């Protein structure tokens, strides 16, 4: 029933999509979809790399050491929103 879409059906679907969303919003939607796909891909790669590199368990944190400052980026290639952050410290003393 739905398995055979020809050229007229595809053209009709595209015309309906353009009428519903408007021609001006379609490039923005495609751009945000591509950005989301890049973020998802980079996060999946980071998770895969973390799984390979963290085979040995980490010891307890040393309270005498100063935490290292890291930089968190929102998306690959987006350098305007990267900022240095400090690691959270444990304020509960046992």
pLDDT tens per residue across span 26-42: 888 889 999 999 999 99
Say if pTM beats, i.e. exceeds, 0.85. Answer: no
Helix boundaries (H) for the chain: 7-21, 25-53
**8 backbone φψ class: left, alpha, beta (φ>0; ψ -120 to 50):** alpha
The pLDDT assigned to 42 comes to 93
The pLDDT assigned to 68 comes to 64
What is the distance between the alpha carbons of residues 7 and 13, in angstroms, rounded to a whole number?
10
The pLDDT assigned to 9 comes to 92
The pLDDT assigned to 67 comes to 59
The pLDDT assigned to 92 comes to 73
What residues in the chain have per-residue pLDDT under 50? none
Cα separations in angstroms, 81 against 19, 43, 58, 87: 35, 17, 30, 18
3 state SS of 71: strand
What is the distance between the alpha carbons of residues 86 and 69, in angstroms, rounded to a whole number?
5
The pLDDT assigned to 29 comes to 84
């Amino acid at each position: 029933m739905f398995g055979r879409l020809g050229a007229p059906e595809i053209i009709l679907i595209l015309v309906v999509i353009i009428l519903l969303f408007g021609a001006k919003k379609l490039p923005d939607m495609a751009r945000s979809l591509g950005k989301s796909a890049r973020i998802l891909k980079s996060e999946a790669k980071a998770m895969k790399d973390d799984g390979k590199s963290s085979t040995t368990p980490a010891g307890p944190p040393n309270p005498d050491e100063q935490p290292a400052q890291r930089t968190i980026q929102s998306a690959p290639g987006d350098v305007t929103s990267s900022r240095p952050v400090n690691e959270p410290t444990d304020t509960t003393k046992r």
